[in-house]
Amino acid sequence: MTARFALYYAPETDDALHLAASAWLGRDADSNAPCARPDMPDGAAITREAGNYGFHATLKPPMLLRRGVTWDQLMAETETIAATIPAFDLPRLAVADLHGFLALRETVPSPELQALADACVAGVDHLRQPPDAGELLKRRKSPLTAVMDANLLRWGYPYVFATWFFHMTLTRRLTDAERALWMPAAEAHFAAALAVPRRVAAITVFSQASAGVPFVIAARVRLAVSG
């Protein structure tokens, strides 16, 4: 099996944030349909990689399933996780410069987001095929701390648990000149959507049918109803 699966947070398809992000990235991850981007210099190149992954915040990073593991097993384990976590309010988001990339980030820490990510990382890990030598080499091209490298070996990804951080990527890494142009454009583009309160009410399962093709929304698994 060459398909990869990931557990993400993604806004509902009728949410203004989903609509704004689909336009920004040039693709709707739910329908996989192209969307008209804002008229910005090099817009397709600057948003292409983020658009291929689909608008999301990572909970459990993309993974290949171990031999013999089925979609139904992945869904059953995701449903088990979701049943233990009540829906909660998403903190207000804002456009931020994240190591040269533009991303939406929470404006205040959220223990609920951290708990959701932790549960997703651990809860389906037994279904994951370990990374091969090529994947490890690719990940290690970026500087990793000892903790991050240990995470990579144990969990298949450096940024989990204490090293995880919420972000919804909007661009590739920008030059200073590009950032001066794109940051205010992103702030204006997302302003109306970010002013609307929203809840985290589901784990969204994304799938990638084969290497190089875009990720799409495959399912939404509802969190427990909060009391």
pLDDT of 2? 86
Tell me the average pLDDT of the chain: 96
Does domain 4-222 sit in CATH 3.90.1140.10? yes
Summarize pLDDT for 11-40 with one digit per residue, the tens: 999 999 999 999 999 999 999 999 999 999
What is the distance between the alpha carbons of residues 51 and 32, in angstroms, rounded to a whole number? 10
Burial class (CB in 10 A: 0-12, 13-18, 19+), 175: exposed
Residue that is written with structure tokens 């993400």 in the block: 8
What is the distance between the alpha carbons of residues 143 and 153, in angstroms, rounded to a whole number? 15
Closest C-alpha to 118, from 162, 179, 69, 56: 162
Kindly tell me the sign of the dihedral angle through the C-alpha atoms of 103, 75, 216, 87: negative
Residue that is written with structure tokens 């817009």 in the block: 43
pTM recorded for the entire structure: 0.96
pLDDT of 227? 62
Spans of all domains in the chain: 4-222
Burial class (CB in 10 A: 0-12, 13-18, 19+), 216: middle
For every residue of 198-221, DSSP letters joined together read -EE-EEEEEEESSTTSPPEEEEEE
pLDDT of 1? 65
What phi and psi values does residue 22 have, to the nearest 5 degrees? -60, -45
Summarize pLDDT for 82-102 with one digit per residue, the tens: 999 999 999 999 999 999 999
Residues of the chain short of pLDDT 50, as ranges, are: none
Kindly tell me the sign of the dihedral angle through the C-alpha atoms of 22, 28, 30, 31: positive
How far is residue 22 from each of residues 47, 92, 111, 214, measured CA to CA in Å?
11, 19, 28, 13
Task: Give me the percent of the chain exceeding a pLDDT of 70.
Answer: 99
CB 57 within 8 A of CB 8: yes
